[in-house]
A and B are shown apart, each in its own frame.
Chain A
Amino acid sequence: MDPTLLKVRRAVQAAIATLSSSTDGVQLSETLGTIKRYLGGTENQVSLKEREEFTHVHFSTFLQGLVSNLSPEWIELLTSDQQKELWDSFFLEGPADQAFLVLLDSIISTGPSFRLMKIISVLEQFLQTGGMSALMWEVCHQQAQAGSPMLQETLLNKVVCLPDHLCNKLHGSNLPIFFPQNYFPLLATEIIQVLQRIADSLRDGLDCSISFVSQVLGKVCVHGRQKEILKVLMPRLIDLTMADCIWQRMCWRLVECVPDRWMEAVVCGFVQTAPGAGVLSRLLGNLVVKNKKAQFVLTQKLLLLQYGYATAVLQNLIGYLALDSLRRSLLIKVLKELLETWGSSSAVKHSPVEQQLYVSKAILICLAHLKESEVESNSQELLTSLMAGMKCHLDSNLPRIRRLGMIVAESISSRISKDGPSLRFQYEDDDETRELKSLWMHTSPQPPVINLPSVCGSDSPSAIPEPSGNPHPAVPEQGADSELDSDDDLTPYDMSEDKELKKMKAPVYIRDCIEVLTGSEDVDKWEATMKVLESLVRRNSAATREVSLELAKVLLHLEEKTYTEGFVGLRQRALVAVTITEPVPVVQYLTSQFYSLNYSLRQRMDILDVLALAAQELAQPHAGGKKKPCSAQSPCISMLPGADSSQDWRRIVDERIKSKTRRFAKGQSLAEPACGPNRFSSVAGHFFFPLIQNFDRPLVTFDLLGDDHLLLGRLAHTLAILMYFAVHTVVAAAMGKALLEFVWALRFHTDSYVRQGLLSSVSSVLLSVPSEHLLEAMSEEFLETQSWLADVAENDPDADCRRLAWQNLLLMENLLKKLRSVPS
């Protein structure tokens, strides 16, 4: 063995022995001073070889010895200067990696004690004095000369998990510097310093590995601290890479060297924090082409699998793909994949609306980045996916999805045929559509905007000087046409009421109405008839009963011959009025027509609406009959002086009381809640059962379980409404049972609108059917439904469905609770 090495070993062993046994301060400081020479300092008595031997082999052992001897009595043997000089400096000036490891290991293994406090204060100093950058630099340096992977792995763990370790150890008395929100920004500045040193050494032509820094970055990101570290790192990197190509290369390398398993976290962090696509492109370079994992994350995961990111992130990402010719092929590939998802009917049906919105946004941004030549070469494929996607979007029952489809289809078609005719849909603009449109408009050329100010400019000056330059415009004209202005002293009255006079007198008899609606070619008369029909029907119930069925037929088949304001509403109200006047035959007719041939969707939906509205009106307490007695009882009745002539003794007494009572307020006495017989109860069955009977029998033109799922959804909702209004009726129990069976049969329907209807039906059943009956006679259905609801609440892709299911479960819970609380 080399004698110099032996010498060092002996010295260290002697020192450790002295440190553990001696109680003499002078001896201790001397010993420490001896060892300190090996770290290098002012005196050069120690050879380079000895020094290397010490730092490589004995330093950790020595530090451990130092730590293990640490106790209040022992440290008091040294003066505070000596403590700093001799004790602390070993940790702060020696090789940072070993010192850090020893410190952290000791912290982990030590319980709360003086020693722990001392070590922590040293660690704090270590962090404050840039120990981390020294540590990382050392590792990077070693890596270039192949250091040990085990040590690196341990170091990496300790560096990234430092806040966790300290937090676990110190609980409430943790120091602020070890808080994650402080530690990771600090780490970021240290990383920048290391990168700075690496850049310097690269400029000097020395080789240096950056991979440890990448690992630190990756691990921090995967631990969920992207925001803290990138908040500091990103702006510095943006500044440094602005002009310097070495820094740019280093930054690319930094991200490329992140191990695959952490790549996703880093890339996501970069995409989210970057202030723009250009910056992102500068920082990441062509990473997406070089690294498979990054490619997967950027082109698949962020776009197709996740949908929680803001629009700015999408713009960053797609803009990044569009900025380099190497990546543009990926842009087109991404667009195709997005369109495939957009156009897949299964995706439209099963994915949540938010995700579809996200995909639509991504498509629109891609389209905005596409060049003319690229559009032309891909126009056929774009057209194909446009057709497929439009069909399944317009098929959807949810208006929001339909509108998404319309907007995307419009923008694709206008991209394909730049000058030719493009698709135009009618929909109402709201914030969402405006945002989507702005996405795809923002990069298209806008020459009209540039021209606009000049047009305005030429208009406005000519308009402004006229009044100012000509203060007496009337003067020259006075002689010529003096009568012109003399009319003006007569101020006109408001003439807005002067409208076209409707010549046609509305018919007064219901039979006349039928005649007009069926035969008349006179448009004015027809319109006037529509307007009075509802009130006529309501006023003449006896006359209506004679022709109710005929009238219902006419109204159901009525088409809007000419534009009439509010025609749909007028017809609907008239039909409702007819239905209420004579419920049984009209409802029988309507329900039978719902399942017969040759009706349009619109008519069938009208039938459902009319049934629901009529049920509502029938179920409500009769308002018309209520009014009269109410006004008779009101206190504003006039007092008759000749009251004694009245036979009614009660009235006399009342009046005497009234005359002796002083009233300070004339307000109506408390309004009684309206009450009256539920007119719906006797006819509820006529409304309900014919509708629920035939849903599974497809006709040639009408297949509820097939394509007409919109109508099935409406039917489910209508049944729910009917069920709801049948509360307190005798048939409610039977209706509830039938409805639950209906729900059970359709529970796995793919359309979310239908499922919403079914869930509303369940709510209605829970609210309307008496709870005793529900739990005793229908307990099996009840339990089945409950398990289905639990499944929906957990797994349904549609947020509304989940909410409804939760509500239902809550209702069930309440019912059970109520039943339990009632002692039977």
Chain B
Amino acid sequence: MALPPPDPQFVLRGTSAEIHTLHFSCGSQEPDYPLLFSGSSNGLIHIWNLKTRRVDTVLDGHGGKSVYWVEAIYDRDRLLSQGRDQKICLWDLAEGRNTVTDSVFTENVGFCKCSLLRVAQGHWLMAMPGKDLDEIQVLELPSKTSVCTLKPEADAKPGMPMCLKLWQPDFGSCPFLLAGYEDGSVILWNLSEAKILSRLTCHLEPVMSLDFDSEKTKGVSGSSEKVLSVWSLDEQQNLKVQKTQELINAGIADVTIRQDKKILATAGWDHRIRIFGWKKLKPLAVLSYHTATVHCVSFSDHRRPNERLLAAGSTDHRISVWSVYNEI
């Protein structure tokens, strides 16, 4: 008889708004405590101290419009946040400050989250939805210069980009971008030539979220359907469907592979978090705690594997924090 699924390790309450995005910052050395950033629908960004399990700071910079992407850089002295007010803000958090030092106006009204990739010390690439509906812009940070604009050809018509993932192979410097589109296809872009390398239609509905494992060149995507799709990238830079995993209930809001590439978690519209083994997509656990749609799941970047956490944010204003499959 299998064990009953675990309960959350703790629950963070008090945002009084839907949680749309979560980001851990736990990799720093001792006197610093692990942090969790959460962006909510009322435009606030909460910074949670995971030691005291309380809110340290609340950032308000998006004019009450919901925040749907946050990511910390410079060893969490800076924070990037993207909001529905069509702005991407750069926060300065060093030494207790909390001011917006810079911002980019995206001119895009979609829900597509940005993707950030560190290319060198102090240099990042950021992919963000562009001005036109089907356009993606890639900026270089911190200079904010546009690297390229990715726009599919007129007859391709994939619709709006829904989710982005910048990645770089372990060898070779040229970064790639994977983008999930409204028509259910995933497109692999070559950034230097700004052209489509491969396009795979793996869903019938818009791709809600995707994640990619650059070691195995294998990715996973979820949509509003009942399936989770796993696809791989071969040497000829072609995307191929490897496996589809049938789910009980439809709708995947977010999918994330853990840093050690062992498991992946999905945030379901059916209020449940699902854990799969990444190798064969073996269903491992169904975590139910939330009473409404789960919007986001995120794995922590703790240095010690046994401390790693999984956080999920939901419409029910709560963030549940779990500890699963850490005893390896």
Q: Which residues of A contact B (CB under 8 A)?
A: 483-484, 486-487, 489-495, 497-501
User: Of A489, A495, A500, which one neighbours B285 at CB under 8 angstroms?
Assistant: A495
B-side contacts of A491, CB under 8 Å: 2-3, 284
Q: Are B4 and A487 in contact (CB under 8 A)?
A: no
A-side contacts of B3, CB under 8 Å: 491, 493-494
* A484 to B270 CA separation, bound complex (whole angstroms): 30
User: Of B4, B280, B282, B286, which one neighbours A498 at CB under 8 angstroms?
Assistant: B286
B20 is an interface residue with CB less than 8 A from chain A: no
* A489 to B279 CA separation, bound complex (whole angstroms): 12
CB distance from A486 to the nearest CB of B (A): 6
Q: Are B277 and A490 in contact (CB under 8 A)?
A: yes
User: Of A484, A493, A495, which one neighbours B280 at CB under 8 angstroms?
Assistant: A484
Q: Are B263 and A490 in contact (CB under 8 A)?
A: yes
* A498-B272 CB under 8 A given contacts A490-B263, A490-B282: yes
B262 is an interface residue with CB less than 8 A from chain A: yes
Interface residues of B in 53-85 (CB under 8 A from A): none
* A483-B280 CB under 8 A given contacts A497-B288, A500-B248, A501-B271: yes
Q: Are B282 and A499 in contact (CB under 8 A)?
A: no
Q: Are B5 and A487 in contact (CB under 8 A)?
A: no
Q: Are A500 and B249 in contact (CB under 8 A)?
A: yes
User: Of A483, A494, A501, which one neighbours B1 at CB under 8 angstroms?
Assistant: A494
A-side contacts of B286, CB under 8 Å: 493, 495, 497-498
Q: Are B5 and A494 in contact (CB under 8 A)?
A: yes
A-side contacts of B1, CB under 8 Å: 494
User: Of B271, B279, B283, which one neighbours A495 at CB under 8 angstroms?
Assistant: B283
Query: Across the two chains, which residue of chain B brings its CB closest to A483?
Result: B279
CB distance from B235 to the nearest CB of A (A): 19
B-side contacts of A497, CB under 8 Å: 5, 286, 288
Query: Across the two chains, which residue of chain B brings its CB closest to A498?
Result: B286
Query: Across the two chains, which residue of chain A brings its CB closest to B278?
Result: A487
* A498 to B286 CA separation, bound complex (whole angstroms): 7
Q: Are A484 and B2 in contact (CB under 8 A)?
A: no
Interface residues of B in 257-309 (CB under 8 A from A): 262-263, 270-272, 277, 279-280, 282-286, 288
B120 is an interface residue with CB less than 8 A from chain A: no
B328 is an interface residue with CB less than 8 A from chain A: yes
Q: Are B249 and A501 in contact (CB under 8 A)?
A: yes
Q: Are B328 and A493 in contact (CB under 8 A)?
A: no
* A499 to B286 CA separation, bound complex (whole angstroms): 10
A-side contacts of B277, CB under 8 Å: 487, 490
A-side contacts of B14, CB under 8 Å: none
* A487-B249 CB under 8 A given contacts A493-B5, A494-B1, A494-B3: no
* A374 to B5 CA separation, bound complex (whole angstroms): 67
CB distance from A495 to the nearest CB of B (A): 5
* A493-B6 CB under 8 A given contacts A500-B248, A500-B249, A501-B271: yes
A-side contacts of B263, CB under 8 Å: 490
* A497 to B3 CA separation, bound complex (whole angstroms): 12
Query: Across the two chains, which residue of chain A brings its CB closest to B288?
Result: A497
14 contacts across the A-B interface (CB closer than 8 A): A483-B279, A489-B328, A490-B284, A491-B3, A492-B282, A492-B284, A493-B3, A493-B286, A494-B5, A495-B285, A497-B5, A497-B286, A498-B248, A498-B286
* A497 to B270 CA separation, bound complex (whole angstroms): 13
B-side contacts of A490, CB under 8 Å: 262-263, 277, 282, 284, 325
CB distance from B52 to the nearest CB of A (A): 29
Please name 5 further chain A to chain B contacts, defined as beta carbons within 8 Å, in addition to the given A484-B280, A494-B4, A495-B283, sorted by A numbering: A484-B279, A490-B284, A493-B2, A493-B284, A501-B270
Q: Which residues of B contact A (CB under 8 A)?
A: 1-6, 248-249, 262-263, 270-272, 277, 279-280, 282-286, 288, 325, 328
* A493 to B273 CA separation, bound complex (whole angstroms): 13
* A497 to B284 CA separation, bound complex (whole angstroms): 13
Query: Across the two chains, which residue of chain A brings its CB closest to B3?
Result: A493
Q: Are B285 and A493 in contact (CB under 8 A)?
A: yes
Q: Are A492 and B283 in contact (CB under 8 A)?
A: yes
* A494-B284 CB under 8 A given contacts A486-B279, A487-B279, A500-B249: no
* A486 to B282 CA separation, bound complex (whole angstroms): 11
A-side contacts of B328, CB under 8 Å: 489
CB distance from B174 to the nearest CB of A (A): 27
Q: Are B279 and A492 in contact (CB under 8 A)?
A: no
B-side contacts of A489, CB under 8 Å: 328
* A487 to B277 CA separation, bound complex (whole angstroms): 6
Q: Which of A483, A486, A490, A497 has the most CB of B within 10 A?
A: A490
Query: Across the two chains, which residue of chain A brings its CB closest to B324?
Result: A493
CB distance from B282 to the nearest CB of A (A): 5
* A489 to B262 CA separation, bound complex (whole angstroms): 10
* A493 to B2 CA separation, bound complex (whole angstroms): 5
* A492 to B276 CA separation, bound complex (whole angstroms): 9
A-side contacts of B2, CB under 8 Å: 491-495
B-side contacts of A495, CB under 8 Å: 2, 5, 283, 285-286
A-side contacts of B284, CB under 8 Å: 490-493
* A495 to B286 CA separation, bound complex (whole angstroms): 6
* A495 to B5 CA separation, bound complex (whole angstroms): 7
B-side contacts of A486, CB under 8 Å: 279
B-side contacts of A500, CB under 8 Å: 248-249
CB distance from B36 to the nearest CB of A (A): 24
CB distance from B132 to the nearest CB of A (A): 35
* A533 to B1 CA separation, bound complex (whole angstroms): 37
A-side contacts of B282, CB under 8 Å: 487, 490, 492
Q: Are B4 and A493 in contact (CB under 8 A)?
A: yes
CB distance from B316 to the nearest CB of A (A): 14
A-side contacts of B288, CB under 8 Å: 497
* A497 to B272 CA separation, bound complex (whole angstroms): 11
* A500 to B277 CA separation, bound complex (whole angstroms): 22
CB distance from B230 to the nearest CB of A (A): 13
* A487-B325 CB under 8 A given contacts A492-B285, A498-B248, A501-B270: no
CB distance from A493 to the nearest CB of B (A): 4
CB distance from A312 to the nearest CB of B (A): 48
* A495 to B270 CA separation, bound complex (whole angstroms): 14
User: Of B6, B248, B279, B283, which one neighbours A499 at CB under 8 angstroms?
Assistant: B248
B-side contacts of A499, CB under 8 Å: 248
* A489 to B328 CA separation, bound complex (whole angstroms): 9
* A497 to B2 CA separation, bound complex (whole angstroms): 12
* A511 to B6 CA separation, bound complex (whole angstroms): 41
* A492 to B3 CA separation, bound complex (whole angstroms): 8
* A493 to B275 CA separation, bound complex (whole angstroms): 10
Query: Across the two chains, which residue of chain A brings its CB closest to B325?
Result: A490
* A491 to B277 CA separation, bound complex (whole angstroms): 10
* A495 to B284 CA separation, bound complex (whole angstroms): 8
A-side contacts of B248, CB under 8 Å: 498-501
Q: Which of B6, B279, B328 has the most CB of A within 10 A?
A: B279
CB distance from B225 to the nearest CB of A (A): 15
Query: Across the two chains, which residue of chain A brings its CB closest to B251?
Result: A501
* A490 to B248 CA separation, bound complex (whole angstroms): 21
A-side contacts of B271, CB under 8 Å: 501
* A484 to B271 CA separation, bound complex (whole angstroms): 30
CB distance from B124 to the nearest CB of A (A): 32
CB distance from B249 to the nearest CB of A (A): 5
CB distance from B312 to the nearest CB of A (A): 16
CB distance from A250 to the nearest CB of B (A): 73
User: Of B272, B280, B285, which one neighbours A487 at CB under 8 angstroms?
Assistant: B280
Query: Across the two chains, which residue of chain B brings its CB closest to A485?
Result: B279
A-side contacts of B249, CB under 8 Å: 500-501
CB distance from B66 to the nearest CB of A (A): 24
CB distance from A121 to the nearest CB of B (A): 81
Sorted from nearest, which 5 A-B pairs have the closest CB atoms? A494-B2, A487-B277, A493-B285, A501-B270, A498-B286
A-side contacts of B280, CB under 8 Å: 483-484, 487
* A500 to B2 CA separation, bound complex (whole angstroms): 20
CB distance from B89 to the nearest CB of A (A): 36
* A492 to B283 CA separation, bound complex (whole angstroms): 7
CB distance from B295 to the nearest CB of A (A): 16
CB distance from B199 to the nearest CB of A (A): 27
* A491 to B282 CA separation, bound complex (whole angstroms): 10
